């Protein structure tokens, strides 16, 4: 019973998040995203590892929860907007991107499965992908890392349950 419920939550969870995300004013999302991004990448910003974003724009779209923003580097800080065109877009679904953030999914594998789309300036996209690959989950604060790991494990278990259920249905005759 719990496994079936977990599979349903993993499958339908992003749909449930889409409504509150779409109703949240962009100014609130912008403030939260800028705070989170600048905090998470504070060391990379200090060491100049994100200088390649100066004057360039990176778009992120999480389609299944209707969340989309554009990031650039301005005056040594990451800035978020919604009205600019991006040089490169990273598009994916919430469960996949969360697993990437937790270090439990390989962006290359998702890219080749067409679950992570990278469109636009391929050089910039490669630099961003390499930065994603270089992020060590151990650098995250323990509560955030633990939460991401637990949520990613929950998602993976739900995805496994969905795959098993689909496999069982495929074996049934009509």
From the DSSP assignment, how many helices (H) and strands (E) are in the chain?
Answer: 7, 5
The tokens describing 82, both together, are 């919604």
Total number of residues shown for the chain: 174
Query: What's the chain's Rg over C-alpha atoms?
Result: 18
Distance in angstroms (rounded) separating the CA atoms of residues 171 and 148:
35
Q: Do residues 95 and 10 touch, judged by C-beta distance below 8 A?
A: yes
> What letter does residue 141 receive in the DSSP assignment?
-
d(CA 121, CA 171): 44
Mean pLDDT score, 63-84:
93
Give the residue carrying structure tokens 């504070």: 42
Q: What is the C-alpha to C-alpha distance for residues 114 and 105, in angstroms, rounded to an integer?
A: 14
Residue 46 has pLDDT above 70, yes or no: yes
pLDDT at position 166 is 53
Q: pLDDT per residue over 109-135, tens digit each?
A: 998 999 999 999 989 998 988 887 777
**Residue where the block lists tokens 């403030």:** 31
The predicted model gives 129-148 an average pLDDT of 78
Q: Identify which has the larger pLDDT, 153 or 134.
A: 153
pLDDT at 163 > cutoff 60:
no
| Distance (Å, whole) CA 34 – CA 120 | 23
The residues, any chain, with a CB within 8 Å of residue 91's CB and separated by 6 or more, are 60, 61, 63, 116, 117, 118, 119
Confidence of residue 7 (pLDDT cuts 50, 70, 90): confident
From start to end of the chain, where are the E strands?
Answer: 58-62, 67-74, 77-81, 88-92, 116-120
Query: Given pLDDT bands bounded at 50, 70 and 90, which one contains residue 161?
Result: low
């Amino acid at each position: 019973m719990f496994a079936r419920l977990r599979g349903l939550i993993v499958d339908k969870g992003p749909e449930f998040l889409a409504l509150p995300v779409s109703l949240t004013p962009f100014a609130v999302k912008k403030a939260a995203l800028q705070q989170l991004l600048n905090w998470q990448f504070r060391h990379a910003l200090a060491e100049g590892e994100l200088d390649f974003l100066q004057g360039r724009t990176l778009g992120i779209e999480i389609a299944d929860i209707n969340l989309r923003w554009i990031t650039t580097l301005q005056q040594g800080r990451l800035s978020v907007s919604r009205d600019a065109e991006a040089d490169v877009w990273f598009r994916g679904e919430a469960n996949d991107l969360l697993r990437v953030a937790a270090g439990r999914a390989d962006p290359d594998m998702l890219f080749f499965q067409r679950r992570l789309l990278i469109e636009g300036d391929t050089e910039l996209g490669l630099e961003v992908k390499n930065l994603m690959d270089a992020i060590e989950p151990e650098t995250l604060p323990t509560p955030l890392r633990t939460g991401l790991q637990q949520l990613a494990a929950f998602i993976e278990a739900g995805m496994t349950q969905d795959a098993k259920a689909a496999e069982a249905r495929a074996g049934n005759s009509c």
